[in-house]
Amino acid sequence: MGQDAGTCRFLQSNRDRREIYAIVERDGSSTAYGPLTYEQVDREVVHRLGLDRATLYRATHPEVADPGNLDAAGQLLDPLPSQLGDAPMLSAQVSYLFQRRRFGDAVRALTAAMAAPDFVLDGWTSGYYPALGWAQHGAGDEKSAHMTFAEGKQKLEALRARWNDNGYITSSLAKIAAGLGDADGAEREADHCVQLGGDDQYHLAGMTQNRVIALALAGRNGRALALLEAEMKKPIPFYAGDLRWSPDWDKLRDDPRFQKLLADAESAQVTVQTK
C-alpha cells in the first residue's frame, strides 16, 4: 500500500530526529552526555523541515492530531510496516497497538525488532522489554510475560551499570518491576528515574510521566492518582486519548478521581478544538 503525504512527513520527521541524535551522540553532546537539550533538537528538526512546533508534534504524535480518535491515528499508522530499525517510530506504532488492544500485533512487532541482526540494546530500545512483557500479559500469555520481565530486569540492570542513564533505562526497570509484581521495586525505580531526569524540562516531563505510569501498573493507585492530578496541571499533560484508551490506566479506571481527570481532559480538548 502506498504512503500518503502525511505518512511520509511523519516518517521524515522521525528520521530527521534520529539523524540529529546520532550526530550529537557521536560528537559527545547528546542530552545524556552534554548541553544539547531535546528542545534544541526539535528546533533543528523544525528548521530542516520548515515546520512549526505544533505541526512537528502532531507529526511525531499522530494520536493527538485528532486526540482520542484511534481511527484517525490508524489511517496514518496502519499502512506502515513495523519500523524495526527506528526505536521512536516503532514505539509510536506499539503505543497505537496497545491503545487498540492489539496485543498480539505488538508482541510480533517487538519480537521481530529484538531478533533483528542489527538490534542493539541501549537507552532508546530499553523500553522494548517492558513493552513486550506487558503486551504478552495483555495477550494472556503470562508465562512468556514473566520470562520477558525477568530477562529484561537482568539485561537492563547490567546495561545501566555501564551506561550513563538519563532515566530511560530506570523507567523501563520500574515498569518491569510492576510486571513482576514487585510494587516496592517499581516505586523505587520510578522515583529514581525522575532523579535522573536532569534539568531539561522537556525530558524531565517525560520521566515524571513515566513514574505515574509505573505506579499505575504496579497498583499503587493512591499515589499514582495524586501524581496524575499534578501532571494534568502541567504545560505538557497526558492527553485525553491516552487516558481513555491506554491499558496503562486500567487499574485506575473505576476510581472516581480518574474518571474526573478523564472527563476534565476531554472537556478541555473540546474547548481547544472549538476555539
For 225-248, write each residue's pLDDT tens digit: 999 999 999 888 888 889 999 999
pLDDT for 270 equals 58
Binning pLDDT at 50, 70 and 90, where does residue 271 land? low
Same domain, 99 and 204: yes
Q: CATH code at 139?
A: 1.25.40
Which whole-number Å values give the CA distances from 83 to 4, 93, 155, 225, 264, in the listed order? 17, 8, 23, 34, 34
Which cell goes with 166? 538519563
Q: What is the pLDDT of residues 29-69, one digit of tens each?
A: 333 333 344 445 445 444 444 444 444 444 444 444 445 57
Number of domains in the chain: 2
Q: Which of 60, 80, 105 is at the close of a domain? A: 60
Which whole-number Å values give the CA distances from 252 to 141, 175, 184, 205, 261, in the listed order? 23, 16, 18, 21, 11
- Contact in structure between 13 and 45 (CB atoms under 8 Å): yes
Q: Which of 32, 60, 88 is at the close of a domain? A: 60
- Contact in structure between 175 and 214 (CB atoms under 8 Å): yes
Same domain, 213 and 135: yes
Same domain, 87 and 43: no
pLDDT for 253 equals 97
- Rounded Cα distance, 23 and 30, in Å: 8
Enter the DSSP assignment of 119: -
Tell me the residue range of the domain where 164 lies: 61-274
Instruction: Give which of 13, 38, 25, 5 is closest to 207, Cα–Cα.
Output: 38
Same domain, 86 and 202: yes
Binning pLDDT at 50, 70 and 90, where does residue 143 land? very high
pLDDT for 108 equals 98
Instruction: Give which of 68, 66, 65 is closest to 263, Cα–Cα.
Output: 68
Q: Which of 14, 40, 60 is at the close of a domain? A: 60
Stated pTM of the model: 0.78
Which cell goes with 253? 479506571
- Average pLDDT estimate for 200-220: 93
* SS3 of residue 165 by DSSP: coil
Whether the pLDDT of residue 116 is over 90: the answer is yes
Same domain, 92 and 212: yes
Same domain, 185 and 98: yes
Same domain, 42 and 79: no
